[in-house]
Structure 1
Amino acid sequence: MRNMEENTNSELKFEKEILAPYTYLLQIKGKKVRVKIADAFNHWLKLSDEKLREIVDTVDMVHIASLLFDDIQDSTKLRRGIPAAHRVYGIPLTLNTSMHVLFLVMKRLVELHPEAADIYATEFLDALRGQGADLYWRENFRCPTVQEYNKMAQQKTGRMFTLGLRLCQLFSDYKADLCPLALQLGLYFQIRDDYCNLKQQEALEEWPSEDDKQAVTEDSYCEDLTEGKFSLSIIHAMGTPEGEEVLNILRQRTEDIELKKYCVALLEKSGSLAYVRSVLEDLNRTTRAEVARLGGNPQMEAVLDEMESWKD
């Protein structure tokens, strides 16, 4: 009996060690808007606080596990002010940890509800398709159409919202289809995130000290340009006189801050950033209209108010 207890304790300790990249990321304050969106949907679903938190925490595990391999795919140096997990723990262990957590989620969902694992497989697979399309365009330097980009954003980001929503609806009497709203929020969220990456509003607001602000500026200023990412503003710029210059800069995957600042100036000059701002305003307006059609939701309206901070 003593040997069995010692083996069990040893396994638990070892599991803690091999999950270190995951627990390392837990120290980061994530985007609270994701939790607020879940709470807003619960205005309609009316789950108990305990059940809602259980599902939100589970989906958050998926999100954090995804960040682990996202940062490897993007050669990310910093994740919200601290070194990316793979730079601390190495790529092999970080990849393994990501897969480990994703299967821990599967195990948890099998125990949660008979239909939960199938929902997880369906929604997360579509999210991976979106991520794959984004990577394919970047790695093959192929500029997508606006329609292709929108589809990718709804898959990559929107499906993480529909995953939590569909899991919640397993325990709710409210059965109206809220997935179109969730996918619209995902599209809005992704376009907004890409826009803010270029304008650096959110990144600079995260840090209280001037030293921290300088670190963010040097190591993560306009990361999407360094990654060679085809965001909506880049796609729009391809149809303008500034498009060739923008494309040449994007091809370099530069870390030169001055060159990236020049690229942002080109995107402003071309009207591409103004175009994205108009898209964001339209998405906010149409999303509010959908919320109203569903009977209104003060919490969701508050989320949409907060997401308009890109205007500041």
Structure 2
Amino acid sequence: MHPDLLPRVLSLLPNRGDRPELRAFSAMLRDYPERGGKGIRSELLLASARAHGALPSTSAWEGALWLAAGLELFQNWVLIHDDIEDDSEERRGRPALHRLYGVPVAINVGDALHASMWAAVHRAGVPGGLEEFLNMVWRTAEGQHLDLTWVQERSWNLGEADYLAMVRLKTALYTVVVPLRLGALAAGVLPDERFTAAGEALGAAFQIRDDVLNLAGDPAKYGKEIGGDLWEGKRTLIVLHWLAHAPEEQRQIFLEQMRRDRADKDAAAIAAIHRWLLESGSVQYAQAYADTQAREGLARLTEALENAPDPQAARALLAQLRGLATREA
């Protein structure tokens, strides 16, 4: 994460010390931001701003930094709520906030960070920035609704197109499309419309790679629970591909487990399912699909940035996205 961002984020958070409960609240507000996330989305926003001509120590760069702080706050309040909705155990190598303090308190912390996000957008003062954030919040909520509804209704009669529709809304927009657009706006440049198609492809590659890491990643590097997607009943490209080809006995065991809430799932059965997925070839299928999406997205983005004001920064942005879509952790 850019070194200027965390101090900006923290500067927007209330720090009241007149009551012990409010001192505790202040600490909770800072918990997720201070856990040391990678700052992927804010870094992309700043890289886009540089590529579009925003220079350090200018008002354009200052606006970009505040928008990036807003994006970090968005990421953190969404993660708090997401962890509750998914009944997650961990976040960034530590217990999820609701595991530490309970669901009602964690929801309230997320709501307060949400309010601080809008304060950052206001500080930025970038024309078009408010509209981008509004669209991002709405589209992300729609994608999350698809995900949560499928889990709630125990829906597994889904295909790759369903998964990709959810990913475009829930992940691709706020991970790639909006950071690219916000960076351009901060520099005073109208965002290229090709950013959307490029960002959707790259965002899909990012999410599929995350799904792969959730099953086959290094626990020390991944920062989340390995196999957590199975416990949470997540619809992933890996699982949907496997379901279409799995032996009927394995398929029935899987569906029976997925009808249960997390607390009622059988650990031995989940471990067996995890093993079947790793042995099936579906992980490799998903990774190959992600690689194709990454190549397509990078090709589209290369075209969109062909006449960028700062060609060197544009090349650095492309390299950053290439690493994001093929990351190892």
TM range, smaller chain: 0.7 to 0.9
Give distance in 2, aligned partners of 1:292 and 1:17: 47
Deviation track 1:218-242 (CA, whole Å, cap 9, x = no partner) reads: xx23001000111111111221133
Contact 2:80 2:97 in 1 (8 A): yes
Q: How does 1:190-269 map to 2 (within 5 A)?
A: 190-201=207-218, 203-205=219-221, 220-242=225-247, 243-252=251-260, 253=262, 258-269=268-279
Q: 1:164–1:287: structure 2 CA closer, same or farther, 3 Å change rule? A: closer
Contact 1:236 1:272 in 2 (8 A): yes
1:63 deviation in Å? 0.5
1:114 deviation in Å? 5.5
Contact 1:127 1:159 in 2 (8 A): yes
1:168 aligns with 2:180: no
1:121 aligns with 2:134: yes
Q: 1:150–1:38: structure 2 CA closer, same or farther, 3 Å change rule? A: same
Contact 1:38 1:164 in 2 (8 A): yes
Contact 2:41 2:71 in 1 (8 A): no
**Range with bigger deviation, 299-308 or 254-263:** 254-263
2:30 corresponds to: 23
2:63 corresponds to: 51
Deviation track 1:263-287 (CA, whole Å, cap 9, x = no partner) reads: 1332234332121011011112112
1:147 deviation in Å? 1.0
1:279 corresponds to: 289
Structure with the largest fraction of helix:
1
Q: How does 1:103-142 map to 2 (within 5 A)?
A: 103-111=115-123, 112-113=125-126, 115-142=128-155
- Unaligned stretches of 5+ residues in structure 2: 1-14, 57-61, 307-313
Q: 1:284–1:165: structure 2 CA closer, same or farther, 3 Å change rule? A: closer
Match of 1:86 among 82, 98, 108: 98
Give distance in 2, aligned partners of 1:206 and 1:150: 23
Match of 1:37 among 23, 44, 48: 44
Q: 1:221–1:273: structure 2 CA closer, same or farther, 3 Å change rule? A: same
Contact 2:136 2:174 in 1 (8 A): yes
- The one-letter code matched in structure 2 to 1:67 is L
Give distance in 1, aligned partners of 2:130 and 2:154: 35
1:16 deviation in Å? 5.5
Deviation track 1:79-133 (CA, whole Å, cap 9, x = no partner) reads: 1221111122221121112112212222442452464333322221110000110
Q: 1:285–1:163: structure 2 CA closer, same or farther, 3 Å change rule? A: closer
- The one-letter code matched in structure 1 to 2:187 is S
**Range with bigger deviation, 181-190 or 220-229:** 181-190
Match of 1:180 among 197, 216, 223: 197
**Range with bigger deviation, 282-291 or 59-68:** 282-291
Give distance in 2, aligned partners of 1:278 and 1:168: 30
TM-score (norm 2): 0.78
Q: How does 1:140-155 map to 2 (within 5 A)?
A: 140-143=153-156, 144-155=158-169
- Unaligned stretches of 5+ residues in structure 1: 1-7, 208-215
Contact 2:132 2:178 in 1 (8 A): yes
1:290 deviation in Å? 1.6
1:212 corresponds to: none
Aligned length: 292
Q: 1:106–1:33: structure 2 CA closer, same or farther, 3 Å change rule? A: closer
TM-score (norm 1): 0.82
1:150 deviation in Å? 0.6
Give distance in 1, aligned partners of 2:189 and 2:129: 17
Q: 1:16–1:158: structure 2 CA closer, same or farther, 3 Å change rule? A: farther
Give distance in 2, aligned partners of 1:185 and 1:196: 16
Q: 1:284–1:99: structure 2 CA closer, same or farther, 3 Å change rule? A: same
Give distance in 2, aligned partners of 1:230 and 1:9: 42
